[in-house]
Structure 1
Amino acid sequence: MKSSFADYQDADRRLVLLKALESAVQYRANVYLLRRFAESLGHVVGLDRAEQDLAWMAEQGLISTVKTLDVTVATLTERGLDVAAGRAKVPGVQQPAPGG
């Protein structure tokens, strides 16, 4: 199965979001902060795309989400922490580089 550039972008962006949550206080951040972090690493992330990524990662059990005053807040799960650290693999999320 061939992957497209968009597939690589999606997988890398999801890893970036997981890594952001890994370093956040209490493993939690809102969608706006996560977008800014991803954009600082070269991803162009609209609100719809960020919300879709968070919903997808919640379906995979990598994060949990709550909506407060129309703002999505994501919290990293144990499984998500394992994926961010490279201890587990999930198709659709880039593996971190060694030491990263």
Structure 2
Amino acid sequence: MAYQDLLNQDQRLVILRSLTDVNGTANDSIINKMLDAYGHRLSRDQVKTHLYWLSEQGLVEIESVLNTDVATITSRGVDVAQGRARVPGIGQPRPGA
């Protein structure tokens, strides 16, 4: 597997897990800062690309508010974030993490 694929998988997992940590909803700016805290320095455009990919998988819902995208995790997204379901293209959380 290519290095960029591994990064994308981890970044998507961090987004889902971060959303579960903040009661399910955050805007793209906050998500960008959460990714940064986990060592993933991304542009806002890259964050939005991940959010829309996650939306296509049914893991988040996105609402655009004044040029800001607000993501809300779905119940399926929570299952993936907690390792109860798998989706190709998203990393697996460590057991007990």
Counterpart CA distance in 1 for 2:37 and 2:25 is: 18
Q: Structure 1, residues 52-88: CA drift from partner, whole Å, max 9, x if none?
A: 0000000000000000011000000000000000000
Q: Report deviation, 1:32.
A: 0.3
- Unaligned ranges ≥5, structure 1: none
Count of aligned positions: 97
Structure 2 residue identity aligned to 1:4: A
Corresponding residue for residue 69 of structure 1? 66
Corresponding residue for residue 16 of structure 2? 18
Structure 2 residue identity aligned to 1:30: N
Q: Which runs of 4+ in 1 moved over 6 A?
A: none
TM-score norm. by structure 2 comes to 0.98
- Unaligned ranges ≥5, structure 2: none
TM-score norm. by structure 1 comes to 0.95
Percent identity of equivalent pairs: 39
Counterpart CA distance in 2 for 1:97 and 1:46 is: 26
CA RMSD in angstroms, aligned pairs only: 0.5
